[in-house]
Amino acid sequence: MSKDVVLSFSGGLDTSFCVPYLQEQGYRVHTVFANTGGVSDEELAYIEQRAAELGVASHVTKDLAQDLFESFVTPFVWAGENYQNQYPLLVSDRYLIVQHSLARCRELGTDTIAHGCTGMGNDQVRFDVSIQSLGDYRILAPIREIQKQHTQVRQYEQAYLEQRGFAVPSKQKAYTINENVLGITLSGGEIDAWKAPSDTLQGWCAKRADWPQAPLRVRIAFENGVAVALDGQRMPGGEMLKQLNRQFAAYGVGCGLYTGDTTIGLKGRIVFEAPGLTALQTAHRALEEAVLSKQQNRFKPTVGRKWVELVYEGFFFDPLKADLEAYLASSQRCVNGEVELLTHGGTVTAVAVESKHLLQAKGATYAQSADWGAVEAEGFIQLFGMSSNLWAKVNGADDGR
């Protein structure tokens, strides 16, 4: 049995703990950091330094922001739904992390992979189900192991590292923080205690007092439902999302405090910020609603909600997800055009839509003018309401109660 293990590594408290814990069990630990955006150059340097000071056998960084845009952001925007109408699936980079960690396993010739997920959260499901779907691998989960003996897990991890001479940054002591190009999530501390988040808690988004005075206007162009240009400049989707994050974070767009039903049945509570993704969703929805037929607009949310549920619960590689994406891709064949977004701060609105596919009648405008007459309108209303009218005639004037 190989004693090499690949650890999906972020430099945070949990994955930092995993390194010496696995080393003390005789493993050579090889760390992989999947850079899916959202971290600064300073933070990236810290992660690489952290891996080195922990004494890993090797460390590699993968730049996956564009891969994340193509594999997750594009179908997510097509789906047009958030989990439980609130949460925009900001930790869906886990699936790319798994794929590239397994690629590193194959490079090293080992079948052993490790992660720093706890036994209380959703990520353990996402990691384990994905790993099992992609091959025959042995999974090590040190945090789940120590939970068998310790109830205050984070305090134990902190003490474990400090006893071995490894410092723990102060923000890691209080909060679990996840960042990528999709956004940022924060949990722990007073958030887990169902209290108001601290005024000192700071993610990407500016506080209201710091919002710029002048409004922000941007234009996003779409081709077949995929964002391809920002303010007339074509660019890769991953780069566009980074730029949208910077622009809309300054106006506090995309912030939320979310309580929802987790995969394992607990209630989860997090602070999240997704400025760029929120702007992208808003623009796409405005264009899509104007170019899809009424029946498409009615039915598509059903598919979108199921796609979101699969991704949230760990079924990223389930065949049903691919089936749903085939429908979503088909629905986007006329989603071409440009949308202008406007924000004064806090929220963002699509204020203008341009597309050659706009479903506009040449001779009619809603509530303004029509190229049909009263006879046609009255006939339509009579037929359209016939079922309800017949019920009233058969059963009397009241509703039968």
Q: Determine the Cα–Cα distance for residues 49 and 25; give it in Å rounded to an integer.
A: 23
Q: What would the pLDDT profile of 210-232 be if each residue is shown by its tens digit?
A: 999 999 999 999 999 999 999 99
Q: What would the pLDDT profile of 114-140 be if each residue is shown by its tens digit?
A: 999 988 788 999 999 999 999 999 999
**pLDDT band, residue 398 (cuts 50/70/90):** low
- Residue 130 pLDDT: 97
pLDDT above 70 for 152 = yes
Q: What is the rounded (10 degree) CA torsion for 48, 51, 55, 59?
A: -70
Across 159-173, 187-201, 218-232, the highest mean pLDDT is recorded for: 218-232
Stated pTM of the model: 0.90
- Residue 171 pLDDT: 64
Output the CA torsion sign for 322, 328, 329, 330: positive
- Residue 199 pLDDT: 87
**pLDDT band, residue 172 (cuts 50/70/90):** low
pLDDT above 60 for 70 = yes
**Does residue 361 contact residue 341 with C-beta atoms inside 8 Å?**
no
Mean pLDDT of 14-28: 96
Phi/psi for 341 (5° steps) reads: -105, 150
Residue 157 resides in a domain: yes
**Quick one: which of 196, 175, 176, 174 has its CA closest to 257?**
196
**pLDDT band, residue 1 (cuts 50/70/90):** low
Across 188-197, 244-253, 352-361, 373-382, the highest mean pLDDT is recorded for: 244-253
**pLDDT band, residue 366 (cuts 50/70/90):** low
Residue 155 resides in a domain: yes
Which of 29-38, 79-88, 238-247, 378-387 is predicted with the least confidence, judged by mean pLDDT?
378-387
- Residue 401 pLDDT: 56
**Does residue 211 contact residue 250 with C-beta atoms inside 8 Å?**
yes
Helix/strand/coil for 338: strand
**Quick one: which of 9, 8, 14 has its CA closest to 175?**
14
pLDDT above 90 for 385 = no
**pLDDT band, residue 363 (cuts 50/70/90):** low
Q: What is the CATH number of the domain that holds 77?
A: 3.40.50.620
Residue 355 resides in a domain: no
- Residue 244 pLDDT: 98
Q: Determine the Cα–Cα distance for residues 227 and 221; give it in Å rounded to an integer.
A: 6
Strands 112-114 and 216-223: unpaired
Residue 261 resides in a domain: no
Q: Determine the Cα–Cα distance for residues 242 and 227; give it in Å rounded to an integer.
A: 13
**pLDDT band, residue 266 (cuts 50/70/90):** confident
Number of domains in the chain: 1
pLDDT above 90 for 335 = yes
Residue 268 resides in a domain: no
Mean pLDDT of 297-322: 97
Task: Please count the CA atoms within 13 angstroms of the CA of 68 that sit on its side-chain side.
Answer: 30
- Residue 142 pLDDT: 96
pLDDT above 80 for 155 = yes
pLDDT above 90 for 279 = yes
Residue 346 resides in a domain: no
- Residue 362 pLDDT: 73
pLDDT above 70 for 343 = yes
Across 158-172, 270-284, 364-378, the highest mean pLDDT is recorded for: 270-284
pLDDT above 90 for 289 = yes
Residue 349 resides in a domain: no
**pLDDT band, residue 151 (cuts 50/70/90):** confident
Residue 19 structural domain: 4-176
Residue 256 resides in a domain: no
| Average pLDDT of the chain to the nearest whole number | 92
Across 2-11, 40-49, 190-199, 336-345, the highest mean pLDDT is recorded for: 336-345
